[in-house]
Amino acid sequence: MTRSWGGLTSGMAKRGYHHGNLREALIDGCLTLIEKRGPTGFTLSEAAREAGVTPAAVYRHFEGREDLIAAAALQGYEMFGDLMEYAYGDGQPSALKAFEATGRAYLAFARKYPGHYIAMFESGISTNRSSELHAVAARAMGVLEKAAEQLSEHIPAEKRPPPQMFSAHIWALSHGVVELFARASPGTKSPFPPEDLLETGIGIYLRGLGLIAPDSEDPNG
């Protein structure tokens, strides 16, 4: 699968569809409406209209709006997992660079694919809704946990949080930057680019754990 980390291209691009691929057409219509109105701001009939099909056609593939949004989330997690794995590998063999790359990948995905991001993290759809959705979500977030576990080996034992807590902190930081500054939320402008906010925030967090001396480079790079 050809990828471009900087541009999020090729295999991670939103999937197109051909005539006859009704399911993909409906998911694309759903994503368009999510971006415009949010996950609760449209009906199945409107999703059908966006896809250029009759409302009755929706029920050939989806039981309701939540089922359609879950399918969009599933597609998003598949793309997100590919991107996270690529980012992690792109930073190897340095544990720090691989870890930082996964944080940046989170932000990059949210900015590039807001419809998928909302379906995944803001729609209220549980990743336990289906075994397939749970599996792809676990794969994607597992990359961040793997990066945290590798990096935590360089943290002094007395300051070392469990890897899952470590990754959860970075996830929360990344999500906060996305929600407040990367998606142009009203009233939350910052004079600093979201990428800089995230990078400096991660740096402060890691220094607090004793991982990076103020003027040092990667501990194992």
DSSP output for 44-95 = HHHHHHHHTS-HHHHTTT-SSHHHHHHHHHHHHHHHHHHHHHHHHHHHTT-H
My answer on whether 25 and 92 are in the same domain is no
* Whole-number pLDDT of residue 154: 84
Which residues fall within 8 angstroms of residue 166, CB to CB, at 6 or more apart? Answer: 148, 149, 151, 152
**pLDDT band for position 69 (50/70/90)?**
very high
Sequence letter at residue 202: I
Structural domain includes residue 34: yes
- Burial class (CB within 10 angstroms; exposed 0-12, middle 13-18, buried 19+) of 136: buried
- The pTM of this model reads 0.81
CB distance 25 to 17 below 8 Å: yes
pLDDT tops 80 at residue 113? yes
Structural domain includes residue 68: no
Lowest-confidence segment of 1-10, 53-62, 171-180, 209-218 by average pLDDT: 1-10
End of a domain among 6, 27, 62? Answer: 62
Peptide bond into 93 cis (omega under 30): yes
Residue-range definition of the domain harbouring residue 104:
78-221
My answer on whether 97 and 40 are in the same domain is no
Q: How many domains does the chain have?
A: 2
**pLDDT band for position 41 (50/70/90)?**
very high
Q: What is the gyration radius of the CA atoms in the chain, in angstroms?
A: 19
My answer on whether 181 and 123 are in the same domain is yes
* Whole-number pLDDT of residue 187: 55
> Residue 106 corresponds to which tokens in the numbers above?
């989170």
* Whole-number pLDDT of residue 37: 92
* Whole-number pLDDT of residue 20: 57
The length of the chain is: 221
**pLDDT band for position 134 (50/70/90)?**
very high
My answer on whether 103 and 194 are in the same domain is yes
Q: Which residue has better confidence, 33 or 16?
A: 33
> Residue 23 corresponds to which tokens in the numbers above?
């399911």
My answer on whether 159 and 54 are in the same domain is no
What letter would DSSP give residue 15? P
CATH code, domain carrying 148:
1.10.357.10
